[in-house]
Structure 1
Amino acid sequence: MHYPELVAGTLVRRYKRFLADVRLDDGREVVAHCPNTGSMRAVNVPGCRVWLAPSDKPERKLAWTWELIELPQPDGSMALASVHTGRANRIVEEALRAEVVGELAGVGEWRREARVEGARLDFRRPGEAGRDTYVEVKQVTLRETDGHGYFPDAVSERGRKHLETLATLAAEGHRAVLLFFVAHEAIADVAPAAHLDPAYAETLRRVAGQGVEVMARGIDVERGDGQRPLAIRLGGALPVRLR
C-alpha cells in the first residue's frame, strides 16, 4: 500500500480516543484524527516522531490523519509502527490477491466482509465442494518490555467472538484462518496477551486445537528521502507462540 505525501511531526498527546495533537516539523501544532479505537498500549508515546496524511477534502472535520509512529528500541534503533487499524485489511487484501501469502494461495476470488453465524469476518474465498476459506485479520502493535509481540492490547470480547466463529466454521469443514498482521518493525513473534485478556488467550489456544489456523506476518516498509515512509507491504511469516 502506497501512502500519499506524508508529513512528519512530533506527538504531543492522544485524547478522546479519536484525537491527537501533533507539532509539525514546520512548527505548526495541528489536531489529527486518530484512526485507532484501541488502548494503543506502547504505541501512544508522546515525544515520538509521527507521520500524518493530509487531506484537502472540505467535508472532513480534521485535515490530518495519524498514520505512523517511530518508536525507540532498547538497542538504540528506531522502529516504525502503523497506528491506523483501517490500513491492515487493505494491505492484507493486496497480498492475498497477489498471492503473496503462499499458505493461502489458490483458486477463487477473495471477497471482503464475509457475514457468517451472526458475525462478520474480513475475507472469504469460495472453494470447491463447498469448502470455503475464511480469514480474520488482527493488527498487532503491542511490543512489551520482554521484547515479544502480543494481541490484544486490551480486553477484546469482539476478538474472542471472532475466534468462536472461526472454530464453528472449521467444525463445518471450512478453512478458518486467523492472520495476525504485525504492523510494528521491531516485533519478531506474536503471542496471545494472557496478562491483559486471559479469556482471549484461553480461547485462542483452544480453537487452535479445533482446526483454526493461526498465522502471523510482519511488514516491509519502503522509505524515501529523509526516511519518509512511502509504502508498507505484507512481510514474511513470523512465529506464533501459543504456549
Structure 2
Amino acid sequence: MTFDTALTEGRLIKRYKRFLADVELDNGEIVTAHCANSGSMMGLKESGSTVYLSPNTNPKAKLDWRWEIASQDGNLVGINTSRPNAIVAQAIEDGAISELADFESLKREVKYGQNSRIDILLYGRDGRNTYVEVKNVTLRRPDQADPEAAEFPDAVTARGAKHLNELSDMVDQGHRAVMFYLVQRGDCTHFRLAEDIDPEYTSAFKRARNRGVEVLCYDCDVTPTEIRLRNPLSIIEP
C-alpha cells in the first residue's frame, strides 16, 4: 500500500482521548491529528518520538491531519487501523500470501455473523468460502521476557473475542476461517498472544483453534512512502 501523498514528519507531544494526538511539525507548527487506533498503543506514545502524518483530504473531516506511523527504538510502526485490510487484500490479490491463493473473487466488509462485517471474504470456486478477519498488531515489549515478540492485543478487546467466535461459526457451517495478524512493523521475529493483558481473548483464541479456525501472521516493511506485506512470522500458540 503506497500512501497517496507524502507523509509529514513531526514529534509527538501527547496522545489523548484515544483518538487525538498533538504533534509538533519540523517547521515548529503544532497540529492536532486524528489517531485511528482504539488500543493502548503501548510503547508508541512517548513524548518526543518521531511520527508521520498524512494530510486529511476529506472535506468533512474535523482535523487536517491523520497519524499514520509511530516509532519505537528507531523502528517505524504503522498505527492507523484503517490500513491493514487494504494491505492484506492487496497482498492476496497480488498472490503474496500462498495460504490464501485459491479463490474466485474477493470482497471486503461483507456482513456476516451477529451484526458484524468480515474484513475480507474470499469466494471459493466450489462454494466453500474463506472468511478472513484482520487484526492490526503494533505491540512489542523490549523490557519483557520475550523482547522480540510481536504481541496482540495491547488492550482488553471483547470485540476481538467476538470475532473469534463468529469465525468459529463459519467453520461449523462448512467454510474456511482465518484469523490474520498483520504486524505493522519489521523488528519482530515471531508472534504470540499477550495473555497477561487479556486472558479472555486468549481463551477465545484457544476455543477458536479447537473449532478449526486457522491463524496466519505476517510482518510489514514500513516506510514513510508505503507499508508493504513482507514475511510470515512463526506463531507461538498459548
- Normalising by structure 1, report the TM-score: 0.91
Consecutive unaligned residues of structure 1, counting only runs of 5 or more, are 73-77, 224-228
Q: Aligned partners of 1:57, 1:131: CA distance in 2, in Å?
A: 38
Q: Which amino acid aligns with 1:136?
A: E
Q: State how 1:122-161 maps to structure 2 within 5 Å.
A: 122-144=119-141, 145-146=143-144, 147=147, 148-161=149-162
1:241 equivalent to 2:236? Answer: yes
Shift of 1:155: 0.9
In structure 2, C-alpha distance between the alignment counterparts of 1:105 and 1:57, rounded to whole Å: 34
| Aligned counterpart in structure 2 of residue 95 of structure 1, from 68, 91, 98 | 91
Q: What SS does the aligned partner of 2:188 have?
A: coil
Distance in 2, matches of 1:121 and 1:41, equals: 26
After superposition, residues 27-42 of structure 1 pair within 5 angstroms as 27-42=28-43
The residue aligned with 2:192 is 191
Is residue 230 of structure 1 aligned with residue 225 of structure 2? Answer: yes
Letter in 2 for 1:219: C
Structure 1 residue 56: deviation in Å? 5.3
Q: Deviations over 1:91-141 (max 9, x none)?
A: 111111112101100131111112222122111112133211110000000
For 1:30 and 1:188, locate their aligned partners in 2 and report how far apart those are by CA, in whole Å: 35
Counterparts of 1:213 and 1:117, CA distance in 2: 17
Q: Against the structure 1 CA distance between its residues 57 and 126, is the aligned structure 2 distance closer, same or farther, given a 3 Å change threshold?
A: closer
Separation in 2 of the partners of 1:207 and 1:113? 21
**Structure 2: distance between partners of 1:200 and 1:140:** 14
Q: Percent identity?
A: 41
Please tell me whether residue 44 in structure 1 is matched to residue 45 in structure 2.
Answer: yes
> One-letter code of the match for 1:8?
E
- Cα separation, 1, equivalents of 2:68 and 2:126: 42
Partner Cα distance (1:85, 1:123) in 2: 15
When residues 59 and 117 of structure 1 are mapped into structure 2, their CA distance, relative to the original with a 3 A threshold, is closer
Deviates most, 7-16 or 141-150:
141-150
CA-CA distance at 1:210 after TM superposition: 1.9
Question: Is the CA contact (8 Å cut-off) linking 1:192 and 1:204 kept in structure 2?
Answer: no
Contact 1:151 1:192 in 2 (8 A): yes
* Cα separation, partners in 2 of 1:194 and 1:26, compared to 1, 3 Å: same
What secondary structure is seen at the aligned counterpart in 1 of 2:216?
Answer: strand
Q: Deviations over 1:207-229 (max 9, x none)?
A: 112211101000023x5xxxxx1
